[in-house]
């Protein structure tokens, strides 16, 4: 699903994500989703809050700022979102239309970034959205190689389940 919306409301379990043009509409949806839901601003400018969550029946900002989002193509925003390290941010950029196979200028894929940062939730999300676990960066490394270099057993287990072509 591709969307040009700015704000995304995501359920706490991550099964639902809906885009909105207006903050108020996204906030109402996030509140309706209930405790642990998120509101993500995919157009947040540098140093402005981009992630809110529902706690105690109200929205509260989490400590994630934007980076002048929307100035680049969606894949770059996805990779920048992965660098922030929160699955809801990555999910919003996927819902906005970024490819799960987006790459940076050096050939590192979104999956490489998630593995390198040790983010199993984001790795699973990318795989669920079609990320290619066999992809190798410009150094010839797969996401599994990065997980092994960092001795991240949880990521190794997730990526090894995909088959022998990953090793």
**Average pLDDT, rounded, for the chain:** 93
> How would residue 100 be classed by pLDDT, with cut points 50, 70 and 90?
very high
Residues 6+ apart with CB under 8 A from 159: 115, 123, 133, 142, 143, 144, 147, 166
For the cut 50, the answer to whether the pLDDT of residue 134 exceeds it is: yes
For the cut 50, the answer to whether the pLDDT of residue 166 exceeds it is: no
Which of 1.25.40.20, 3.30.70.1140, 3.40.50.620, 3.30.160.270 is the CATH number of 99-167?
A: 1.25.40.20
* Single pTM value for the model: 0.92
> How would residue 164 be classed by pLDDT, with cut points 50, 70 and 90?
low
Q: Where are the domains of the chain?
A: 1-97, 99-167
For the cut 50, the answer to whether the pLDDT of residue 144 exceeds it is: yes
């Amino acid at each position: 699903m591709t969307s040009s919306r700015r704000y995304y409301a995501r359920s706490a379990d991550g099964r639902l994500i809906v885009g909105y043009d207006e903050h108020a509409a996204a906030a109402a949806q996030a509140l309706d989703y209930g405790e642990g839901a998120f509101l993500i601003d995919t157009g947040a400018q540098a140093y402005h809050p981009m992630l809110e969550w529902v706690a105690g029946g109200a929205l509260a900002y989490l400590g994630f700022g934007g980076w002048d989002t929307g100035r680049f193509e969606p894949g770059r925003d996805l990779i920048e979102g992965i660098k922030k390290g929160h699955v809801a941010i990555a999910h919003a950029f996927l819902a906005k239309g970024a490819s799960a196979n987006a790459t940076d200028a050096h050939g590192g894929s979104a999956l490489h970034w998630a593995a390198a940062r040790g983010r199993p939730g984001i790795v699973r999300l990318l795989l669920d959205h079609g990320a290619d676990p066999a992809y190798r960066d410009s150094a010839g490394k797969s996401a599994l190689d990065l997980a092994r270099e960092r001795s991240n057993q949880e990521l190794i287990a997730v990526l090894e389940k995909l088959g022998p072509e990953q090793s």
